[in-house]
Structure formats: structure tokens, C-alpha cells
Chains A and B, each alone.
With several copies, the nearest count.
Chain A
Amino acid sequence: MAKVYSDATSALAGLLKDDMVIMAGGFGLCGIPSLLIKAIRETGVKNLTIISNNAGVDGEGLGLLLETRQVKKMISSYVGENKTFAQQYLAGELEIEFNPQGTLAERIRAGGAGIPAFYTKTGVGTLIAQGKDEREFNGEKYVMETGLLADLAVVHAWKGDTEGNLVYRKSARNFNPMMATAGKVTVAQVEHLVECGTIDPDHIITPGIFVQRIIHAAGLEKKIEQRTVRQRA
């Protein structure tokens, strides 16, 4: 069962269809599966429901799929940095379901872990709890949130081996590990593709069982959204 594909387009072959649900890792532009998103755009697949913490920015990340109007609905926690998004949303062309960031992260983890629903304090007494079951535990109110699954998860990792074991680098980890567990099929782009046995098995964050296809994203250009620096003394 060879998991390694030569490029993003071949790795996505046969996996895309209109109206599907796709999870895409990343926080802002950090740790996003940029090559896989570009390849999705090229296929022209449409009416997508995208589960991703953010919606990219104009011309980068998921912003690319918004430009081409391939997205029907976003499930996100924050979409502030995207003019295309704002235009389509205000024109009623794009649906959005806001989830608190921690609830979104936990819903994805739950989906991958076979947990159909869980209770959280987050959002109790707010719009987020409307229409959802509430229940008291130890005298405190909690709201029920459901697990999320996707037809396809696309993730970015720092290093991966031919078995699909993944490790992430610094804050580029973010949503990628949970999404890898919650896609019926998960495709990973990795900056360094290595042989099995090269990564210390105690350091692996995503075991290969969760990754069906993997590509080497050589020489990837990674964007910085907000370059903040301090002066040298």
C-alpha cells in the first residue's frame, strides 16, 4: 500500500466531488496545506463545505477557493482577514457557521475519536447555545456539541515518513493533528519526506494509520501574515 504520491494533483485524484466536506488544517497562514488547496482549486470542484479555523487571506490559502467561488459554506472560528470572504458573505453567496475555536477543535477531535457528542461550558448563555441541548452537571450548565467528520482532510506537516507518520513544527501544528484523524481520507503535504524508522517513534504526533496519501512539498514558500519584530539592543 504505497502512500507516497508524486504531487498534490495525483494525491487528490479520485477523492474530490462537488458538495463534499473538506477539512483544511492551519491557523491563519501558519501550517496550511497550501499545495493541496491549490490543487483542489485547479480541479474546479465546487459547492464545498470547508471546515477550517480561518478562511485564508486574499490570494493565499483558502482565499484561493473563495476567489473561484468553489466554497458553499465555511465552518470556522474567525474569518477576519479576507475581503473576498466579506463580499461573498454580505452578498449572501457564502454560508458561515461560527464555532468557538476550542469547540471547533474538540468537535474535530471527537469526530475522529468516535465520540458523537460532548458537553462544554463554552458558549453557554450565548447565541452559540441556541437550539442546542443543555444539561447540568454538578450544578453548572453545559451545552452539547457534536463530533465533526469530513470526506477529506488536507493537512500540512513538517516531516513525514513513507508509512504516513507525521511530526509538526512549532505553532504550525494547530488543527492539523485532529483533522488528520477526522477525514475519511487524509492527504498530507510534508516539508521533509523521510524513510520509515527515521523519526523517533516517541516524537510522532500523527500515527500513519490516519494518513492515506502523502506528498513531498519541497522548497515550500511559507507566508507570514503579521511580521512583528523588536529592535536589536
Chain B
Amino acid sequence: MAWTREEMAARAAKELRDGYYVNLGIGIPTLVSNYIPDGMTVQLQSENGMLGMGPFPYEGDEDPDLINAGKQTITELPTTSYFSSADSFAMIRGGHIDLSILGAMQVAENGDLANWMIPGKMIKGMGGAMDLVAGVKKVVVLMEHVAKEEKKLLKRCTLPLTGAGVVNMVITDLGVFTVGKDGMTAIEIAPHVTREEISAKTEASLRFADNLVQH
């Protein structure tokens, strides 16, 4: 039984540590903020120029000057600071953010990531994704294991890259995979999912960890 989006987000939240500064991408990654354990302090960075991002405002409290990188209205916290886009990406590029959780179209066994363009389709741009994957200490991809019958964990990405050799971990609906110098390793499998199913749905060379956790 594959994990739901919520379960995937909950699993990603286990990568958080007390005191971490974290950047969450748009989509499933945004849900991770709902699973920060009680008593753990995590500051969320929004790359348009804010550290210490709060939840959505109550209706009527929306402020046009207070949005996140997804252009959604948000709120501030007692810890919040604001800064320019140059300072924001100096923070990102300089390796000060501990963890980035973001979506992807493809991830290769060498850590290559593709998530910004499909040749032949209208290109919207990479936004801050290339900076985030190049600069953040640990990059976790949160995505469906397979999309529209297309495998997404590949030997080599076929789409134009967002970053080369940048992914540290992939969490899909089927399992959790680390990416390192020795390639891609399955370390956890979702309940009732088999090794055979994962192998069949993965193009990348995949090792199963000795201490693999079958949920």
C-alpha cells in the first residue's frame, strides 16, 4: 500500500532536526510543515526574502506585502526577519540552509535532478530551484515514484537538469532512497510494497540496504 501525500510529508519531516533552517518547495513539500514534531524548533525560509515563515493568515488578515515564494499570503512569527532577494540567495548559495525539500520530475542515480523544463513545452523558468539544489546542505526530493507510467528514478535524467549530483535523498510513495557516491539505495519501503514492485518501477540501479526497513 503506497504512502499518501500526507504520509510522504510525514516521512520527510523525520529528516528535520532541532534548530534546522529549512526551505520547502511548492506542492507536497509544503505539507511537511504540518509534521514538525512538538518541541522541535525549525525555521522555514522563503527564498523571496523571509526567514521564520508562519502559517496562512486568518481570513481578513491577508497582507499583500507578506507572501511566500509560491506567492501565497502567509504570516510572520516572533523569530521572523526580512531581507532582499540578494541576501536571501546569499544565505542559500552560502550553504546556511540545512535542508531543502522539493519536488522533481526526474532523479538520476548520480544525484542529478530535473524539475524545471520539458523541451517543447512552454518554459516557465527555474525560479530559485537551481540555487537551492546547488547551495543547500541537504536536498531531499519528495515525489511520486512513477508519473503517468513514466519512471522517474533513472540511470540518467532525460530532461534538462536543475542540478548535477545534488540530491541526497528521495522520498516517494513507495519508499525512501538515499543517493550517494555509491549510487542509489532503498532504505525504507512503504507498507505492503515489495522489492519487486520497486525494482520494476525504477530504472536507476538500485541497491537494497542491509538494514532495509519494511514499514
List residues of A whose CB falls within 8 A of some B CB: 1, 27-31, 53, 76-81, 86, 89-90, 96, 98, 100-106, 108-109, 111-115, 120-128, 158, 161, 163, 165, 168-178, 181, 195-197, 201-202, 204-205, 207-210, 222-232
Contacts and interface: CB of A to CB of B under 8 A. Distances in A.
B202 interface: no
Contact of B81 (A158, A168, A207, A231): A207
B128 A175 contact: no
A98 B125 contact: yes
Contacts of A230: 55-58
Contacts, number: 240
19 contacts: A53-B85, A79-B124, A98-B125, A101-B85, A101-B131, A104-B85, A106-B86, A122-B135, A123-B130, A124-B134, A126-B162, A126-B163, A177-B84, A197-B78, A208-B79, A224-B62, A226-B70, A229-B56, A229-B59
A135 to B, nearest CB: 15
A171 B21 contact: no
A173 B83 contact: yes
Given A1-B19, A127-B160, A209-B21, A27 B85 contact: yes
A126 B116 CA distance: 11
B45 to A, nearest CB: 8
B90 A86 contact: no
Interface stretch (B6-14, B91-99, B185-193, B207-215): B91-99
A223 B71 CA distance: 11
A194 B2 CA distance: 48
Contacts of B46: 171
B73 interface: yes
Contact of B130 (A111, A128, A201, A209): A128
A185 B66 CA distance: 28
Given A105-B86, A208-B43, A209-B91, 6 more contacts: A78-B126, A89-B122, A100-B126, A122-B135, A178-B84, A205-B84
A222 B64 contact: yes
Contacts of A175: 84-85
A181 B128 contact: no
Interface string B107-142: 000001000000000111111111100110000000
A196 B67 contact: no
B88 interface: yes
Contacts of B125: 76-80, 98
Interface residues of B, number: 71
Contacts of B85: 27, 53, 101-102, 104-105, 174-175, 178
B180 interface: no
B73 A106 contact: no
Given A123-B130, A181-B96, A230-B57, A173 B91 contact: no
A105 B84 contact: yes
B66 A114 contact: no
Contacts of B82: 168, 170-171, 173, 201-202, 204
B164 A124 contact: yes
A216 to B, nearest CB: 17
Nearest to B78: A197
Interface in B132-176: 134-135, 160-165
A57 B59 CA distance: 24
B50 interface: yes
B135 A114 contact: yes
Contacts of B112: 125
B163 A125 contact: yes
A161 B77 CA distance: 13
A174 B160 CA distance: 28
Contacts of A128: 126, 130
B90 A224 contact: no
A181 B65 contact: no
B86 A171 contact: no
A86 B122 CA distance: 7
A231 B58 CA distance: 6
B63 interface: yes
